[in-house]
Structure 1
Amino acid sequence: MFLAWNEIIKNKLRFTLIIGVLMLVAYLVFFLSGLANGLASLNREAVDKWDADAIVLTEESDQSLTQSSLSIDAVDEIQADETAVLGQLNAIAQTGDLKAGVSIFGINSDEFIMPEVIEGEEFTDANEVIAGDALKDEGFKLGDTLSLSSTKETLKIVGFTDQARFNAAPVLYTTLETLQLVKFGETAENDSQISAIVVRTEDISATTDENGLATIETETFIESLPGYTEQSLTLNFMIYFLFVISSVIVAIFLYVLTVQKISMFGVMKAQGIPSGYLARSVIAQTAILAAIGVAVGLGLTLFTGAFLPSAVPVAFDIPTMLIYGVVLIAVAILGAVFSVLTIVKIDPLKAIGG
């Protein structure tokens, strides 16, 4: 450690460049991690908010909420600790010059998927909705009257709730009666059709044995959302490739530095300093450089995140970022192995020209 630190202090510029490269790689990894979490949240916030174990859909829906339609009477056949009925409809909501794609959830206010209102009040009358706060960020406000692309009905925002986006669209919560009116018009049979039944239960397999219905675990349902899995895999593969790139970069830098110092290492070995000591010095030096680079990259990422606009879907998960930081340090040390092998093979007499 003494030798490693002294060399870093003596050659500040050289090692600052290495730290800078590691910092940029770490910054990119951390930012991609935040982007992956943020984009995932866009799809699953409303589902996570249910804190449910499973969701019951029709078998022919192919695990798609928008394609599922079942009778509300099916809830009587469900075996679970708690159940909540859910109707769903996608639409374009507009008020004045503001327009946004939304997902309308029809629910019962006395069931567990009813959201907590953070501003305004709960819906009590027909055509009233609680809106996700993402709409508030876009300029929508309490009291706005929303016209919808699929109906002549209008909705009024009476409250806002947080963490309410489904498949990247802000959610509007309303009564089942209102959803039926929006979806089918005045001819709709009141509360006759729903999209799903959300359940909390310890035994998911025993939820239903009714033909035509399928019970899907919440995480499986989320993974089946359009584009969710593909998006997550793409970003995660980019992060994993950055780990490999980081290892290669460190290996190249340290190998070049080691080759430049072959004569010095030869003299040291001729003086009786064992190869193990020199190898540990290189490993320690790599660990120091990587730790500094990762720490600076982490700080820079969090600093950048503080100034990003709300439209950028970034959500930093500190435990995950710390794990990635440790992995970056580990792969950097792994990249130093090539330099260690070079040191072990140095012949003192040849190195000093003997």
Structure 2
Amino acid sequence: MKMGWRELIRMRQRFFLMAIVTTLIVLLILMISGLADGLAYDNGAVVRNLPIEQVALSKDAEGQLTRSFLERTDQPAATEALGVQNMVLEKQNGTKEDVTVFASPGDTRYGPRQLAKLKDGQVLVDTQYAKQNGTKVGDSFTDFRTKQTFEIVGTVTDGRYSHAPVVWMTLSTWDDWQQKMGTDYVSAFISGKPIKTTLATYTKQQIVEQVPGYAAEQNSFQMMRVALIVIGSLILTAFFYILTMQKMKQLGILKAIGIRTRTIGQGLVLQVFLLTVVSFSVSLLLTWTVGQLLPDDLPFRFEWTTSLLYGGLIIVTALLGGLIPLRALKKLEPADAMGGMTG
């Protein structure tokens, strides 16, 4: 161990450059993880924040709220009806935007408490959407299809679905809106307890995972993270392998004077461990700092659990890669390393 530590100090410039490269790789992995976690949360934030355990949908909906069409007569006991549908709203300045409508009873147990104060035709909008678009309480907008007008009377936090802003309304307003489209349905029945029904039931997490685009988005980010971990591990392995090969003569002398291969190997493993741990710690601090400085409308979410998980994977894979040069070190003959013997 002491030999490895002394070499780190004597060759600090070389190891410092390698630490910078490792830090940048780990930083990239953590930043991508933060973006993936942020997008995953943003994609189904409105569902994640509902205090529910189970959701009942029509069997052909395949877990997607906007594909489910249920009759109110199918409502199981101890559940609450939920309406979900996409809307193209037309603002007073003529611009059109896509939003997702969520509707709950005025006396809802699971939706925003502000719904109890809403009158027919009044709605709540996502706080971030209001900030980005200059929308304020008192403004109104029109549904592009039915030309029905709605008044904004408040805002809700974390109200996004499939990366689109969410508009909350009461079921009475929902019913008026649906009648103008010639329909009369709700999308789901929700409860804080397991639902006894013949309908298809899903957990809250399953509903989030079925949000359009969620799986493809997360799979893409997962491939990026795995690729970066492999690349980072290969870079560290190559660095320590080349470094070990360059000092074979010195290592041969050490073996010739009686220092065991195990002792030399412990020093090498110590170097790999310290380099990756320090690089990961610096990257973790930088990622957390960046997460605090980024604007709220950017879907970036720093998760300690995810960051520590990928940091641990990087350290483990780097240590495994660092063991590769030990094979060459074990086969090393002191005489060959010092120039060989003739005759």
2:189 to 189, 197, 217: 197
Aligned to 2:111: 114
Deviation, structure 1 residue 236: 1.1
Unaligned stretches of 5+ residues in structure 1: none
Map 1:73-88 onto structure 2 (within 5 A).
Answer: 73-75=73-75, 78-79=76-77, 82-88=78-84
Deviation, structure 1 residue 96: 4.3
Amino acid at match of 2:19: I
CA distance in 2, matches of 1:141, 1:310: 18
Question: 1:122–1:130: 8 Å Cα contact kept in structure 2?
Answer: no
Question: 2:106–2:171: 8 Å Cα contact kept in structure 1?
Answer: no
- Cα distance change of structure 1 residues 179 and 285 upon mapping to structure 2, 3 Å threshold: same
- Cα distance change of structure 1 residues 169 and 347 upon mapping to structure 2, 3 Å threshold: same
**Aligned: 1:145 with 2:140:** yes
Map 1:145-164 onto structure 2 (within 5 A).
Answer: 145-164=140-159
Question: 2:48–2:205: 8 Å Cα contact kept in structure 1?
Answer: no
Q: Deviations over 1:203-260 (max 9, x none)?
A: x5xx113xxx322232222222221112111111211122211111111000000011
Show structure 1 runs of 4+ deviating over 3 A: 94-100
- Cα distance change of structure 1 residues 99 and 299 upon mapping to structure 2, 3 Å threshold: farther
Aligned to 1:309: 295
Amino acid at match of 1:148: D
Moved more, 89-98 or 339-348: 89-98
Q: Deviations over 1:305-339 (max 9, x none)?
A: 23323332111101210121111111111110111
Deviation, structure 1 residue 86: 0.7
CA distance in 2, matches of 1:167, 1:102: 9
CA distance in 2, matches of 1:353, 1:99: 78
Amino acid at match of 2:87: A
Amino acid at match of 1:95: K
Question: 1:103–1:166: 8 Å Cα contact kept in structure 2?
Answer: yes
Q: What TM-score results when the alignment is normalised by the length of structure 2?
A: 0.92
CA distance in 1, matches of 2:208, 2:118: 30
Amino acid at match of 2:71: S
Question: 1:95–1:145: 8 Å Cα contact kept in structure 2?
Answer: yes
**Aligned: 1:229 with 2:221:** no
Aligned to 1:125: 119
Deviation, structure 1 residue 183: 3.1
CA distance in 2, matches of 1:39, 1:291: 28
Map 1:284-295 onto structure 2 (within 5 A).
Answer: 284-295=270-281
Q: Deviations over 1:76-113 (max 9, x none)?
A: xx14xx41111122113343456532111111122222
CA distance in 2, matches of 1:244, 1:188: 55
Identity percentage of aligned residues: 30
Aligned to 1:19: 19
RMSD of aligned alpha carbons: 2.0
Amino acid at match of 2:320: L
Question: 1:105–1:174: 8 Å Cα contact kept in structure 2?
Answer: yes
Deviation, structure 1 residue 122: 5.4
**Aligned length in residues:** 338
Question: 1:181–1:188: 8 Å Cα contact kept in structure 2?
Answer: no
Q: Deviations over 1:250-288 (max 9, x none)?
A: 110000000111011111111111000000100000000
**Aligned: 1:180 with 2:163:** no
Aligned to 1:47: 47
SS, match of residue 99 in structure 2: strand
Amino acid at match of 1:91: M
**Aligned: 1:335 with 2:327:** no
Question: 1:250–1:332: 8 Å Cα contact kept in structure 2?
Answer: yes
Moved more, 296-305 or 21-30: 296-305
Aligned to 1:89: 85
Deviation, structure 1 residue 63: 2.6
- Cα distance change of structure 1 residues 89 and 40 upon mapping to structure 2, 3 Å threshold: same
CA distance in 2, matches of 1:338, 1:60: 53
Amino acid at match of 2:237: A
- Cα distance change of structure 1 residues 183 and 257 upon mapping to structure 2, 3 Å threshold: same
Amino acid at match of 2:37: N
CA distance in 2, matches of 1:305, 1:90: 31
**Aligned: 1:219 with 2:205:** yes
Aligned to 1:208: 197
Unaligned stretches of 5+ residues in structure 2: none
Map 1:225-264 onto structure 2 (within 5 A).
Answer: 225-264=211-250
